Structure 1
Amino acid sequence: MTKFEALGLQKSLLDAVADMGFENPSEVQEKAIPILLEDETDLVALAQTGTGKTAAFGFPLIQKIDRESRTTQGLILSPTRELCLQITNELQHYSKYEKSINVVAIYGGASITEQARQIKRGAQIVVATPGRMKDMIGRRLVDISKIDYCVLDEADEMLNMGFFEDIKDILSNTPDEKSTWLFSATMPKEVSLIAKKFMHSPQEITVGAKNSGATTVQHEYYVVGGRDRYPALKRLADTNPDIFSVVFCRTKRDTQKVAEKLIEDGYNAGALHGDLSQNQRDLVMNAFRKKQIQMLVATDVAARGIDVDDITHVINYQLPDEIETYTHRSGRTGRAGKSGISMVIVTRSELRKIKAIEKKIKQDFLARNIPTGMEICEIQLYHLANKIKDTKINPEVDNYLPAINDVLEGIDREELIKKIVSVEFTRFYNYYNKSKDLNSATSDRGNERGGAPSNGAVRYFINVGEKDGYDWMSLKDFVRDTVGLGKEDVFKVDVKDSFSFFNTDAEATEQILATFKDFKVDGRFVNVEISKSPGGGGRRRGGFKDKGKRKDRSWDNDRGRSKRREKGNSSSPNSGKRRSKKRKGDFF
């Protein structure tokens, strides 16, 4: 792969790259940086969120800036305060060996006079949100009439947020001869209009297929009754004990409601929506980045600008009204080369929307079943066992061992293990033992796309997981290549921290078990056994065939809301066990 040295970057930038630990450029960096360094040109770059776009325009911009001049030469427009601050921070890291480069962020919610003072001291690069930039231009607190470079980052996001007129007004205050670099995940007509009006014969680069989703993201959907959205959400969380996710709702009210219910049920959750003050928003985001919040429930507008690389899941509690919005949602996971999962909770009436998304992102969805109660108990049991195994012993416990040994005297090893494990396992077992099946009955038409019937699948446990370097893609490849199966013969791959599950058709069982008998990788036994709670199916791809015509971008609103808790016990098995250390009100 091409190294950064081959892209034409100067030594000070290469030193900064080395300090940050980057070795190879991403695809968008490899394509964009040489073009922007070699030519004074306009550029349209289509690439998903999380592919390294900031460095793709940041390195060339820093290298081209005249360090001796204090005039504002570069303007970067971004949709949100968070993204504005993030870009500013990254550019400051990139230019750490260029002491004369000054980058200033201007955004709403902070002192406009202080921001104006920083610009007056000399800011060669200004990173701004459209609203605050327009305000400062109107007050004559900033001069962008002499800029050489204008970057529109997350252009489709800005336009989705209603900044079309603001961007046109801002760009009308810039010189015609500047270079404009537009970076966007999708190319809706509003972005095309900006490109046509303010750009001159731009070069275009595309990372992946145009408007497609990231290939590192697996897309799944779960069909439930309208009243069962919230119980389904809880089961998806319980099936992934180490989940670090963003849960998307359509409205501020639903966002607040779902977050509050999760907190009441013992999950480390928080809400992010437009009714929060800036200080509350900062508290939530800081807690999320520190992983004090595992499930961040957010509206689409509030979530724009979230740029956290380790998000494992995006959960669409409700589908958005626009398909492009789904692309941005799913782009929050599977970033920086890592894999991720985008889950969609839908009712039967919404299945047509899945087909529309597939067509837009050029990727298939995997139809999945909401886990049964016993599947969740099994996963939690293995998770607990591995947690105990990996726990570091606190030497202070030695002082209490004589008394503890007296209490536990007469209990043999096997019984003691059962008692320890039962402390946690019993909570989940009691809660889920008689729980109902949440999966909505669906038509057999799902099998038209090559899926196997659920009763023809076998579920396996394997004792490797994320700690061993596997994700759902690499584990699927490992099993398939080791056993010698076909591309689609391994499915429903669930990778946990120290163990995983996968499915095959029943006819492959003998071959699977024979291959992994006394099987070692790097001297370690890799064990595969049939799961005690076999969850079949999950192989069907895509939605139902769409009847009638519809627009690609707009969908009917689904007014169904979750109002019913799990049958039997209304509280969660997590109640009182996984609460955040912060009080409930701290995040709202």
Structure 2
Amino acid sequence: MTPFESLGLQESLLTAISDLGFESPSEVQEKAIPILLEDETDLVALAQTGTGKTAAFGFPLLQKIDAQSRTTQGLILSPTRELCLQITNEMQLYSKYEKGVNIVAIYGGASITEQAKQIKRGAQIVVATPGRMKDMIQRGIVDITKIEYCILDEADEMLNMGFYEDIRDILSNTPDDKSTWLFSATMPKEVASIAKKFMHKPKEITVGTKNAGAVTVQHEYYLVGGRDRYAALKRLADANPGIFSVVFCRTKRDTQKIAEKLIEDGYNAGALHGDLSQNQRDLAMNAFRKKQIQLLIATDVAARGIDVDDVTHVINYQLPDEIETYTHRSGRTGRAGKSGISMVITTRSELRKIKAIEKKIRQDFIEKKIPTGIEICEIQLYHLASKIRDTNIDPDIEDYLPAIYDVLEGLDRDEIIKKMVSVEFTRFFRYYSNTRDLDEQKSSKGEKGQEERPKDGSVRYFINVGERDGYDWMSLKDFLRENLKLDKEDIYRVDTKDSFSFFNTDANLMPLILEAFQDFKVDGRFINVEVSKNPGRSGKGKKRDRRRGGRKDGGAPFNKKKKSSSRRKKGRNPGFF
């Protein structure tokens, strides 16, 4: 018996699950599905975004409805158009083998006439945003007086967006004896009020700790001066070449301004906010999903429809006013079992907010330093080398090679490598080599579980394994701790890149670290650790011993768009990630 079979799902749904490649249920699915299948009950399920909630209510709903009846039996309310469409698409995939099941999406920004036609054909399940749903009820287009199941998805988000009155009016048109399933990431008093008013003795399940942040997300903050936020944002992007991030701003104006500045500076960025037309929002989201945009600058309201599993970082350009909003922001990364990082760019006056968020999400923030220009250059150099190594050779280049060999005649291998790397690296190095340190000094808060570590008391190391080898910041930290026989707090500032990583220890552990990784192998491969070559923060470096398996290449490719030299302004960021 497969893990999904043990939950009590019927064969047609299990076949669809197999087609989708699902191997085992997530925690919320494991807890919710048996309850919803066994009983006609109300349910409150608290789980972070990205934990598989759609399947947790979708599969039981599909198993319970009568596909032979054309009456609307299930209503799913969601906060945004994007999420409404996503739920509809997922439900259609789940119902692949459910003959006669029709699922219709109702949302603003699209033809109400066309949506009315789809409803008239018969829809057992309607997925809707509250505003459009209320409008269609008032026009007599949708009849929900006979529904048996009502699902409130992302309930806290809907209430945060001001939909309380709409939800109350919609639910007042539904039967009292229906089953109501409420799914939410947090349980603020407004959600509790909805549960109390419209639900009868609901069962409750909680994945993780109530209102806590996801354990797969590492929370970091960077203390800067107020005028340095934008410069800090660019450095964080440059120090993480594989970044695929949502950057949150408080206002639509800031969102648009930051996106425009990033695009002007050569970054793959885009904006998502309420002043954009629906078509513009769709274009931005499609480009983001295809990773044509690496930095999506968004307001909280506009970002509520983002459901992308591969987001590596969430960057809080500004902290939100409400703590619950931070929980939703950070929930955009670390999804589907993957790890993620939530970064906060903050000023000294906002440190109290950091402490309040820590208390709410029950997780500590790690204080980190904005990377120096030299640190960024070091990271980018490794990535450039990796790009060269991993580039597939185009067979069409063969015709041009004789001429190229003539041009390069007289240069030995080392000279060619140095010149090739210098073509890209020199302008990047020139941009950052004389830039100042952006960090606000002497913060009152230390790193996770640590006293504040002075600069000369910490050593930063390079290690030639990274995400390509299956490590993220959590698993690499565990790997180092287990092999070095150290406590969890002894290793900090773990930053994983594509094919290499960095980590820190206190200076007194340096002899132990370097000795432990002399001729150290994993599955026959040498794992090389050395002091990072950064005199500003990491101490004096040493030459890499290639005979012991030290890396000759580096990390992942540059991913920034390049601008032509004619358009590049003097002093502008060179346009690398």
- The TM-score, its normalising length taken from structure 1, stands at 0.91
Give the 3-state SS of the residue equivalent to 2:376 in structure 1.
helix
Distance apart, 1:395 and its partner CA: 1.4
Contact 1:459 1:534 in 2 (8 A): no
For residues 59-80 of structure 1, the C-alpha deviation after alignment (integer angstroms, 9 at most, x for no partner) is 0000000111110000000000
Contact 1:431 1:569 in 2 (8 A): no
Contact 1:375 1:534 in 2 (8 A): no
Distance apart, 1:520 and its partner CA: 1.4
Equivalent residue number for residue 367 of structure 1: 367
Say if 1:447 and 1:464 are closer, same or farther in 2 by CA, change over 3 A: closer
1:499 aligns with 2:500: yes
Contact 1:2 1:25 in 2 (8 A): no
Higher alpha-carbon deviation: 144-153 or 435-444: 435-444
Distance apart, 1:321 and its partner CA: 0.6
Distance apart, 1:37 and its partner CA: 0.3
Equivalent residue number for residue 521 of structure 2: 520
User: For 2:484 and 2:229, how far apart are their aligned partners in 1?
Assistant: 38
* CA RMSD, Structure 1 to Structure 2 (Å): 1.5
Give the 3-state SS of the residue equivalent to 2:345 in structure 1.
strand
**Pairs aligned (count):** 546
User: For 2:476 and 2:178, how far apart are their aligned partners in 1?
Assistant: 48
User: For 1:382 and 1:300, how far apart are their aligned partners in 2?
Assistant: 35
User: For 2:315 and 2:116, how far apart are their aligned partners in 1?
Assistant: 40
Contact 1:105 1:126 in 2 (8 A): yes
User: For 1:417 and 1:479, how far apart are their aligned partners in 2?
Assistant: 32
Contact 1:134 1:166 in 2 (8 A): yes
Say if 1:473 and 1:180 are closer, same or farther in 2 by CA, change over 3 A: same
1:337 aligns with 2:337: yes
> After the TM superposition, which parts of structure 1 deviate over 4 Å for at least 4 consecutive aligned residues?
534-537
Unmatched segments (≥5 aa) in structure 2 = 539-568
Equivalent residue number for residue 252 of structure 2: 252
Say if 1:336 and 1:418 are closer, same or farther in 2 by CA, change over 3 A: same
Contact 2:367 2:447 in 1 (8 A): no
User: For 1:445 and 1:328, how far apart are their aligned partners in 2?
Assistant: 24
1:23-34 map, 5 Å? 23-34=23-34
Distance apart, 1:444 and its partner CA: 5.3
Give the 3-state SS of the residue equivalent to 1:205 in structure 2.
strand
User: For 1:169 and 1:534, how far apart are their aligned partners in 2?
Assistant: 64
| Partner AA of 2:415 in structure 1 | E
Contact 1:239 1:380 in 2 (8 A): yes
1:169 aligns with 2:169: yes
Distance apart, 1:453 and its partner CA: 2.8
1:66-465 map, 5 Å? 66-443=66-443, 446=446, 450-451=450-451, 452-465=453-466
For residues 501-534 of structure 1, the C-alpha deviation after alignment (integer angstroms, 9 at most, x for no partner) is 1111112211111121111111211111110016
Equivalent residue number for residue 8 of structure 1: 8
Say if 1:114 and 1:161 are closer, same or farther in 2 by CA, change over 3 A: same
Contact 1:101 1:124 in 2 (8 A): yes
Give the 3-state SS of the residue equivalent to 1:300 in structure 2.
coil
User: For 2:412 and 2:304, how far apart are their aligned partners in 1?
Assistant: 55
Equivalent residue number for residue 475 of structure 1: 476
Distance apart, 1:455 and its partner CA: 2.2
Say if 1:445 and 1:501 are closer, same or farther in 2 by CA, change over 3 A: closer
Equivalent residue number for residue 531 of structure 1: 532
Contact 2:130 2:166 in 1 (8 A): yes
Say if 1:569 and 1:375 are closer, same or farther in 2 by CA, change over 3 A: farther
Higher alpha-carbon deviation: 135-144 or 396-405: 396-405
Contact 1:255 1:297 in 2 (8 A): yes
Unmatched segments (≥5 aa) in structure 1 = 538-567, 579-588
Percent identity among equivalent residues? 79
Distance apart, 1:448 and its partner CA: 10
Contact 1:245 1:315 in 2 (8 A): yes
User: For 2:45 and 2:67, how far apart are their aligned partners in 1?
Assistant: 27
Higher relative contact order (CA 8 A, sep 6+): 1
Contact 1:270 1:297 in 2 (8 A): yes
Say if 1:299 and 1:447 are closer, same or farther in 2 by CA, change over 3 A: closer
| Partner AA of 2:107 in structure 1 | Y
Distance apart, 1:397 and its partner CA: 1.2
Give the 3-state SS of the residue equivalent to 1:446 in structure 2.
coil
User: For 1:239 and 1:490, how far apart are their aligned partners in 2?
Assistant: 20
For residues 197-253 of structure 1, the C-alpha deviation after alignment (integer angstroms, 9 at most, x for no partner) is 000000000001100000000000000000000000000000011110000000000
Distance apart, 1:478 and its partner CA: 0.7
Contact 1:78 1:152 in 2 (8 A): yes
Contact 1:447 1:453 in 2 (8 A): no
Distance apart, 1:285 and its partner CA: 0.5
Give the 3-state SS of the residue equivalent to 1:410 in structure 2.
coil
Equivalent residue number for residue 22 of structure 1: 22
Distance apart, 1:428 and its partner CA: 1.6
For residues 300-326 of structure 1, the C-alpha deviation after alignment (integer angstroms, 9 at most, x for no partner) is 000001000000000000000100000
